Chains A and B, each alone.
Chain A
């Protein structure tokens, strides 16, 4: 049974950094691409970033490029998202999600975590 659990959210001041984690279980983590998706209060889903199964390929939404870094540790079955230079508009629930494609990114997200809330406020 696939299980994704995000952690690391909280209240952070503008301009500061935060690292989110996503612990994965129930599948061969090293075989699948992984995504981060966020939802700001009262808004819809916004794709943030994706990383390939081996970690060698990473893609970001334009608005987050240069500020956010996605990474993974396949030995720990854990996905990360480093958030830097945070702005109030980054306030959102951040979800990690598993890509449906094995050994290839197809951008279909078949399992999601429950999310972790990041609040950027002074």
Chain B
């Protein structure tokens, strides 16, 4: 199975900050990467897939980049509703493994 890691595991940021989260796969995944946002008690929400394709309805402040084994999620200007846990997931092979998550909380 492909293993996914994320860094940092948590971060504190203020509204308006630029936030970057990194995800690394144990082998190349050919841009087959998705990002999800998850708030406590809520259903997870797909943000991006194919590394950089924004899901319909997701604000443009979210963006993704990367290739090979290394990928990033960037929030250009953090908004109050963005405080949540973010997960990367590879869909290159089965099982579609998730990263351990990055919790973004208020500084």
Which B residues touch A4, using CB under 8 A?
A: 43
CB proximity to B under 8 Å, residues A47-103: 47, 50, 59, 61-62, 95, 97, 100
CB proximity to B under 8 Å, residues A1-29: 4
Which B residues touch A50, using CB under 8 A?
A: 94, 96
Interface residues on A, range: 20 to 34
Q: B1 contacts A62, CB within 8 Å?
A: yes
Give B61-85 as 1s and 0s: 1 = Cβ < 8 Å from A's Cβ atoms: 0000000000000000000000001
| Cα A110 to Cα B8 with chains together (Å) | 25
Q: Say yes or no: is B44 at the interface (Cβ < 8 Å to chain A).
A: yes
Which A residues touch B95, using CB under 8 A?
A: 47, 59, 61-62
CB distance from B99 to the nearest CB of A (A): 7
Nearest to A112 among chain B residues (CB) is B43
| Cα A82 to Cα B22 with chains together (Å) | 35
| Cα A106 to Cα B101 with chains together (Å) | 21
**Which residue of the partner chain, among A45, A100, A107, A114, contacts B36 with CB atoms under 8 Å?**
A45
Residues of B at under 8 Å CB distance from A?
1, 34, 36, 38, 41-46, 49, 55, 85, 87, 89, 91, 94-101
Residues of A at under 8 Å CB distance from B?
4, 35, 37, 44-47, 50, 59, 61-62, 95, 97, 100, 106-115
